[in-house]
Structures are given as C-alpha cells and as structure tokens.
Structure 1
Amino acid sequence: MHPFLEKVKRDGESFFVHHTKIEELLPMHSHNKHQLSYVEGGVAFLNTRNKSYFFPARHFIWIPAGREHNVTSRTSVKMIRNIFFPKWVIPQDHKLQERGGIFPVTNLLMEMIYHTAEWRGDISKKDGAEFEFLIAMKNIVLNVAENPLPIVLPTTENEILQPILRYIHLNIDQDLYLDKIAEEFGQTPRTLSRLFQRNMETSFLQYVKLTRIIKSMEMLLQTELSITEIAYSCGYNSISAFSYAFHQLIHRSPNEFRKQNV
C-alpha cells in the first residue's frame, strides 16, 4: 500500500488533512474515509471504474468512503486540497455516505478550506478547536451538497469501445456520425449503438454531446477564446446550437459559466 494511503487509513475516527499534488500520482485506490478535494489553479477529473467526473474551478468533489478512484489533471495544477472525513461524521441516511459528485464551492466553504492550508495529518477530538472547525465544515458541506454539477462522462474497459472513445475525443471538432464511425472501426451502426448502451448505459449521441460540452467547459476556463471560437472548436455549427446544448446540461449560458468560474 502507498505510504500516503496508510496514513489516511490509520485512524478511522479522525479527520485527515493533506494539501499536495500527490493525488495525481496515485493509481486507482480507495480508503476508509470520505474525501473532499478542491483543485486550485487548474482543471481536473475524478476517475472511477466506470465514470469520469469533470470538476472545474470553484467546485469541489466528494468521494464516498470505499469508492475506487483516482484524480488526474489535463492542466498544471497549483494545489489539490484534500480533507478526509471519517465515516461517522456524515449521517447514516445522508446521500453523501454513498453518492459522490461535483458541487459548487461557496465563498464561506472556500475560506474554510484555505483556513486549513497549514494543517497536516490526523485531526481528532483531542485537537480541540481544529476538530470542531472541521465538524463545522462538515455541516457546510451537507448544506451545499444539494445541487451537483450534472456532468458525468461514462467510461469503459471494453476493448472495442476504447479506441472509438479516443477517436471521438481527438476529433471532437468534427462532425461525428454513428454510421461513419461504425464503418471506420469495422462495426455496423446497430452493433455500435448496442455496445454504447450495454457497456456505458448511454447512447452514442449522448456521449458525443457530453464530450463536446466537457471540452467546451475546459476551453472556457483555460483559454481566452471567444464563445464562437469555442463553439466551432467543439464541433458545433452555430453559436446558438452550442449555447442551447450548454444551457440544457449546465443550466447556465457559456458566458455565465465562464464569469462565475474564472
């Protein structure tokens, strides 16, 4: 076991605070505590066995105890701020016991995360004020965990689909049609459609739509390109079609999303 994971697991009753980039170096793993991660200065993805969660600036990710995962970044990240919550502090009937997600960081929660910047390692009841502070943070997390960011990209280990998914990501600026991609990879459209539904529980069209929107979110946060340039770079033929699809999923316009998160 990685030495870092041993430290997280050694006291099941305590919180554990760890601010570092180390999460990028870990393989798929799990631990006995819930994990809150906030990425400072970059865009990252939480990967589980069958899903990839995009989390941009001003959002935190919640990973339930026991969930296999790792965190990767496509951009340079200044810091990943991790706070591990013992299972007992989350009410047994609360959805955060079992369900992860991406949630917006309120100004108060952001200030609380930064307040822990110099803390390291286990924090238990004997630590007094620090422990009570993290209990208060837990209550704030419970309050804000009502509106998850609705962007989850299915993944799969299916050997037929993996090169097709890579092709989609590499050609997201192009028109992507089921029949043409099926032919390109030696499948019938019907077979390829079934592969998506059976292995990823989504349609080919929905997967392409999610990939386009996630790519656009990255570009909105990481570039100074105009909304129009981003729309065409993500495969949309018009800014109106892009704005409609974006609002349908994110419940904000591309411009609003950029202003709120940059």
Structure 2
Amino acid sequence: MLNSKSFEEKYYIKNVDADEKSIYCHHDLMGEHLIPTHQHKKAQFLYTEGGIIHVTTETHTYFLPARHFLWIPANTAHSIHTSSENAIMRNLYFPQNTNEHEFYSIEGIYPANDLLLQMMLFTNRWNGHLKKGSRHYTIANAIKAILPEICTAQLHLSLPFADDSRLKNILLYVDQNLGEPILFSELAGRFGFSERSLYRLFEKDLRMSFIQYFTIRRILKAMELLLDKKLSVNEVAQAVGYNSAPTFSNTFFKVLGQRPTEYVNGVEILRKEET
C-alpha cells in the first residue's frame, strides 16, 4: 500500500499539471499493480500493451484491450489496475480548452487505427512537458485533433457498478460461473426473485439487461484469456461458456468489431514495430 508521501510524489500527481499549458507525455512500464484513485486538470489519452488493464471511474470499470485507447476527460477521478507491473503505459495529457468538440468531454474506449498507432509510435521516446509552440507539442496536439474524426464508434467495454446489495451478490455469482450456461430463470430462482422483478432490477440499477451484461462480461473474460495465450481460441470459447466456436467468434465480432484470431494477431503492435 502506498503511503501518502510516495503517492504524492508519483508523476501522475506531481508533474502532469505542473505546467497547465503543456502537453505532458509519459511512456514507461507501469511499475505497480495499482495506481490509486486520482485526477488531473488535463485530459488523458491512455494506450497500453503487455498486460490486462482495468480503469475504474466513478461510474464504470473499463477493460482496455490491446490496440485500443481510453480517453479520460479532464478532472475525472480514476484508478488503474493491471495484471502485470511490466505493462507498458503510453500517456498523453492534454490541457483543457474552451469550446472543444464534445468528444473530449466523454470517457470511452476506441480502437486505434494504423494512422493513430504510427503517430503514437513517433512519440515513443518523448517524456515530460511538451511546450506550446514546440515541434513535439504540435505533433502531439495533432493526435488530439484527429480523434473526433477517426473515433466514430465507441466500444462498450465497460460494466457499471451495482448499487443494490442483492444485485452485487448476483453479479459475483455470474463472474464466478462465466463458463457455465446460466439461464435467467434459474438465476432468478436461485436468488429468490421472479424473472420479472430481476429483469427490472437489472434495468433500474445497471441500465442494461442480464443478457447484455452477461455477454459483455464473457467477452471481457475471453479477451483476458486470449491475451494470456495459454488457450486456443476454441478453448477460450469453451472457458467462457460457448459450445460453438462460430457463435463465440460472431459474438466477439459484434462487441469488438474483429474476430478473436484478428484480436490475438493484432496485440502489442507498437512493441513489435520498435524491435
């Protein structure tokens, strides 16, 4: 557990907002499993590789897959959790301007296309404050400027928190049994609900249906297993409760916009291009 002094000395607390007008750049190993809850006056562009990354805000827990980035608006409290201290974080922190595009005020996950990846690769050896008027600032600011143009489809790779204690227990059970066929009727009966009342609870507390939650949770788990590379695609499908590999592939495509094999082949692209 970090003590208050060490936490205050971390770059994301001490340095990011030290110069309010600069773009702050930080590319490095994460170095820890948890970055505690904090916030910046600047918006954050976060791209990661080499580990499973979860980002928790006040309303959602996001799973950040390879070849995607998370946009965190200015003054948004968040914590970052990872499966490995060796995960690489590539961060650009942008000052907030008046009359900005609506894109910059909404947190969300977006795929990083080849153009964006190449521009991020160009910033690879930068660190610290990029002063306004400098060449590096101009290039970094161009990355920000193109985001509303190329990021037209946000991925719904987040799951809301449950406020109701009964629903929290149900979601814990679901998480522990992702590989099993869970019927909604049996789930309701197990926890003493009618199907209708449990359906209403999901809609009221999570603003999504059970099948929406269950599908996203399965795909998020599948992405973790695919990145771990210990199981084949077919084995991953079975591990998250799909008896049919084509059905799993089609569901994965609907959520992520790419097939499981495409996702596996596309991970860590920046690292590969550096070697």
- State TM-score, norm by structure 1: 0.86
Whether 1:112 and 2:119 are equivalent positions in the alignment is yes
Q: CA separation of 1:230/1:74 partners in 2, compared to 1, >3 Å: closer, same or farther?
A: same
Q: CA separation of 1:2/1:167 partners in 2, compared to 1, >3 Å: closer, same or farther?
A: farther
Aligned residues of 1:15 and 1:123 also touching (Cα < 8 A): yes
Return the match for 1:66 from 47, 70, 75: 75
Aligned residues of 1:36 and 1:82 also touching (Cα < 8 A): yes
Aligned partner of 2:13 in structure 1 is 5
The Cα shift of 1:93 comes to: 4.6
Q: Which amino acid aligns with 2:27?
A: H
Cα separation, 1, equivalents of 2:83 and 2:188: 28
Whether 1:158 and 2:167 are equivalent positions in the alignment is no
Whether 1:205 and 2:205 are equivalent positions in the alignment is no
Q: CA separation of 1:245/1:204 partners in 2, compared to 1, >3 Å: closer, same or farther?
A: same
Return the match for 2:23 from 15, 23, 26: 15
Aligned residues of 2:31 and 2:86 also touching (Cα < 8 A): no
Q: CA separation of 1:181/1:169 partners in 2, compared to 1, >3 Å: closer, same or farther?
A: same
Aligned partner of 1:46 in structure 2 is 55
Q: Which amino acid aligns with 1:175?
A: P
The Cα shift of 1:208 comes to: 0.6
Aligned residues of 1:169 and 1:211 also touching (Cα < 8 A): yes
The Cα shift of 1:209 comes to: 1.0
Q: CA separation of 1:40/1:180 partners in 2, compared to 1, >3 Å: closer, same or farther?
A: same
The Cα shift of 1:23 comes to: 7.8
Deviations 1:132-157 (A, max 9, x none): 22222223434332233333322224
Aligned partner of 1:97 in structure 2 is 104
Q: CA separation of 1:75/1:157 partners in 2, compared to 1, >3 Å: closer, same or farther?
A: farther
* Alignment RMSD: 2.5
Cα separation, 1, equivalents of 2:237 and 2:218: 9
Whether 1:236 and 2:242 are equivalent positions in the alignment is yes
Cα separation, 1, equivalents of 2:260 and 2:99: 37
Whether 1:125 and 2:135 are equivalent positions in the alignment is no
Q: Which amino acid aligns with 1:143?
A: E
Query: Number of aligned pairs?
Result: 259
Gaps of 5+ in 1: none
Aligned partner of 1:174 in structure 2 is 180
Percent identical pairs in the alignment equals 34
- State TM-score, norm by structure 2: 0.82
Gaps of 5+ in 2: 1-6, 269-275
Q: CA separation of 1:115/1:241 partners in 2, compared to 1, >3 Å: closer, same or farther?
A: closer
Q: CA separation of 1:62/1:137 partners in 2, compared to 1, >3 Å: closer, same or farther?
A: same
Q: Which amino acid aligns with 1:112?
A: M
Aligned partner of 2:34 in structure 1 is 25
Cα separation, 1, equivalents of 2:23 and 2:64: 23
Deviations 1:74-123 (A, max 9, x none): 345432111101112xx735132211222222344334334434433322
Aligned residues of 1:43 and 1:77 also touching (Cα < 8 A): no
Query: What secondary structure does 2:179 align onto?
Result: coil
